[in-house]
Structure 1
Amino acid sequence: MTDIGVNVPFMQAAGMSKFKENCAKCHGEWAKGTDSGPPLIHNYYKPSHHGDEAFYRAALNGVKAHHWRFGNMSPVEGIERKDITKIISYVRWLQKANKLY
């Protein structure tokens, strides 16, 4: 169970695992952010503002800071596009579960 009170669906479980492995250190266990990185459960990251391709670019190439003061995001070392696809599915599910869209 997540802290939003629901079980993570089977289709998003692999993404949750990859998220915890590659993203949670900065973006938080449930994508709520940390002192090192922004929350992904935020209007800035809903699909109408940052589409899925923005997540691929950020993970593969890094991204210059433009919404937050955490500094630039470095590329995620060793991550593959197929892993990012799973992570995006998980993050989008989290966003919906938190009524972001």
Structure 2
Amino acid sequence: MIRRKGLLLGGAAVLVVVLAVVLWPQDVPDPAPASAMVEVKVPELSNLAAEGRTAFDALCASCHGENAAGRQGIAPPLVHVVYEPGHHADGAFVLAATRGVRQHHWTFGDMPPVPGASPQDVAAIIAYVRELQRANGIF
């Protein structure tokens, strides 16, 4: 009788372990990244624009996407005719980074200021975005 109880308990323990492995929540992969809104050709960058790319990747890409291509449902592309220099001068980028900007061209909501963006970072980011724009036919 004792031996049967031991087998029964051992079998129950194995069943519990198997059920735990099968039913335990598995690591769920992150949802697919938001897709880029535009295709961006990346030119050979000047030294300042290369510095800007590094700063952009650290400070801006999480919203505006890799190579400023935008992120569907998150933030607009900066390589877009809306941001051409004649419509949004460099000062508009400075103000957006330092003060934020109210939604006006897109429906993504207001853009908050970018914490940690130094004036040097912003200048380099502008150079990067402008070089991307020129390479993609936006003057």
Q: TM-score, normalised by structure 2?
A: 0.68
Structure 1 vs Structure 2: percent identity of aligned residues? 45
**In the alignment, what sits opposite 1:18?**
55
Query: Following superposition, which runs of at least 4 residues in structure 1 exceed 4 angstroms of deviation?
Result: none
In structure 2, the residue matched to 1:78 is: 116
How many residue pairs match? The answer is 99
Superposition RMSD in Å: 1.3
Query: How much does 1:6 deviate?
Result: 3.5
User: CA separation in 2, counterparts of 1:20 and 1:100?
Assistant: 21
- Does 2:131 match 1:96? no
TM-score by length of 1: 0.92
Q: Which moved more, 1:8-17 or 1:91-100?
A: 8-17
**Any gaps of 5 or more consecutive residues in structure 1?**
none
TM-superposed CA distance for 1:4, in Å, is 1.9
1:63 aligns with 101
Q: Which has the larger radius of gyration?
A: 2
Q: Whose helix proportion is higher, 1 or 2?
A: 2
Q: Unaligned stretches of 5+ in structure 2?
A: 1-39
Higher relative contact order (CA 8 A, sep 6+): 1
Q: Within 1, Cα distance between the matches of 2:80 and 2:42?
A: 19
1:4 and 2:62 matched: no
